[in-house]
Structure 1
Amino acid sequence: MQDLKTLSRRAAFAALALLATGAAQAHPGHDGHSLVDGFLHPFAGLDHLLAMAAVGLWSAAELPAGRRLAGPAVFLAMLLLGAVLPQFGLLLPGLEAGVAVSVVALGVLMIAARQPALRLPVPVGLGLVGLAALLHGMAHGAELAVGQSFAAYAAGFMTASALLHGAGLVAGGWLQAGRVWAWRATAGLVGASGLAMLAGRL
């Protein structure tokens, strides 16, 4: 049993190193055109993929059972708002770096959720989730092709994001069942990947 646990830990850290190495190039530029493009967009960039899953994971660890959908709900609302802003010409400078920082922040939130001394008040955590969502939404909205339907594109990435949140909630519930090392490895993966992406975008 001990050998199996050691092997599992090594595999987790190997996955962390592999994903962190490739993370800097994880968000290739592409223009969205349709519902399908919108749906695929969160899966095409590791930054978006990790952020959506991390919100579900954090919500499963930090929020009471009856309120665990609050994290994904806040994220989805702010994600949509962020995607609307570029349609009116509102776009933050250094957005790609900001998205990478948000992934790091979500990794830190995950780590703090299992460390009582570091745990943030839930409203603060939800505020950070909302800020991260705003940045990711702006990145989504900025890649909508000119003249294409925002509604269809938004429906696609909102649906995909909700599915990723759901996957994070399920995985978070599994990781809560005494698998402290697995939780730490997952949180480390999210944070390290965000740092690697940030280094590649500065």
Structure 2
Amino acid sequence: MKSALKGGLLALAATALPAAAYAHPAIGEAAGFSHGFAHPMSGLDHILAMVMVGVFAFQLGGRATWQVPTTFVLVMALGGALGVAGINIPFVETGIALSVVVLGAIVALHVKAPTAVAMGVVGLFAIFHGHAHGAEMPEDAGGAAYAAGFMIATALLHAAGLALGYVIGRAGERQGAFVTRAAGSVAAIAGVGILAGLI
């Protein structure tokens, strides 16, 4: 069980590594798609939330494995459009930090929500994430290409979460559940740290 826990936590940590590589996506000659693709990878809050959406979808199983992440990506695009248009949404950063706390807690507690409820929860948080992406779009970035970049990067992070759930599940029912809950707990605690401004 220790090796399964270690493997799961290492996998969760590995998903956070792109944050270091893309800490400043606006540096250099990147524009449009490159900026958009880099932005979701530029912060631990975005990475943890996206991966937790994927793990949550894996836990629910069935149609939720694609409906929950797809809902996030589509609603995030709407939030991004609001950000690009300059339409203000209050408490965006708080909403993003809370998404990490809530999604991490959902995974840690292995919440078995109906798919429609899960889609509603991730959709709510997707608005905040999308707005942040859109509002922070560089002036020289092409709008459609930028949007395609952050949507594809987000989908890849969701896929990483699904893969993480699958890999952890291979550890066995009891051990896999323990490791998954530990990973969710780590994410939730990190979210509290982000919310408190400690991370």
TM-score interval, normalised by the smaller of the two chains: 0.7 to 0.9
Aligned to 2:16: none
CA contact (8 A) 1:58 1:109 kept: yes
User: For the structure 1 residues 137 and 68, does the alpha-carbon distance in structure 2 shift closer, same or farther, using more than 3 Å as the test?
Assistant: same
Consecutive unaligned residues of structure 1, counting only runs of 5 or more, are: 18-22
Shift of 1:176: 2.7
Aligned to 1:36: 34
Of residues 79, 87, 106 in structure 1, which corresponds to 2:84? 87
Matched, 1:148 2:145: no
TM, length-normalised to structure 1: 0.80
1:135-188 residue CA offsets vs partner (Å, 9 max, x unmatched): 100010110122531111111111111111111112112223421221111111
Shift of 1:129: 0.6
SS in 1 for 2:196: helix
CA contact (8 A) 1:47 1:99 kept: yes
User: For the structure 1 residues 39 and 30, does the alpha-carbon distance in structure 2 shift closer, same or farther, using more than 3 Å as the test?
Assistant: closer
Of residues 156, 162, 166 in structure 1, which corresponds to 2:159? 166
One-letter code of the match for 2:35?
D
Q: How does 1:1-202 map to 2 (within 5 A)?
A: 5-6=1-2, 9=5, 33-64=31-62, 66-112=63-109, 114=110, 119-177=112-170, 178=173, 179-200=176-197
| Number of residue pairs matched by the alignment | 188
Q: Structure 2 CA distance, aligned partners of 1:120 and 1:44? A: 30
CA contact (8 A) 1:28 1:45 kept: yes
Report the aligned-residue RMSD.
Answer: 3.1
Shift of 1:190: 1.4
CA contact (8 A) 1:55 1:106 kept: yes
User: For the structure 1 residues 111 and 7, does the alpha-carbon distance in structure 2 shift closer, same or farther, using more than 3 Å as the test?
Assistant: closer
Q: Structure 2 CA distance, aligned partners of 1:157 and 1:149? A: 12
* Percent sequence identity over aligned pairs: 38
Shift of 1:67: 4.2
CA contact (8 A) 1:75 1:129 kept: yes
Q: Structure 2 CA distance, aligned partners of 1:79 and 1:137? A: 4
Q: Structure 2 CA distance, aligned partners of 1:142 and 1:194? A: 22
Q: Structure 1 CA distance, aligned partners of 2:169 and 2:44? A: 24
User: For the structure 1 residues 51 and 14, does the alpha-carbon distance in structure 2 shift closer, same or farther, using more than 3 Å as the test?
Assistant: closer
Aligned to 1:20: none
CA contact (8 A) 2:54 2:69 kept: yes
SS in 1 for 2:141: coil
1:22-54 residue CA offsets vs partner (Å, 9 max, x unmatched): x9xxx9786584211111111111111111111
TM, length-normalised to structure 2: 0.81
Shift of 1:80: 0.4
One-letter code of the match for 1:189?
V
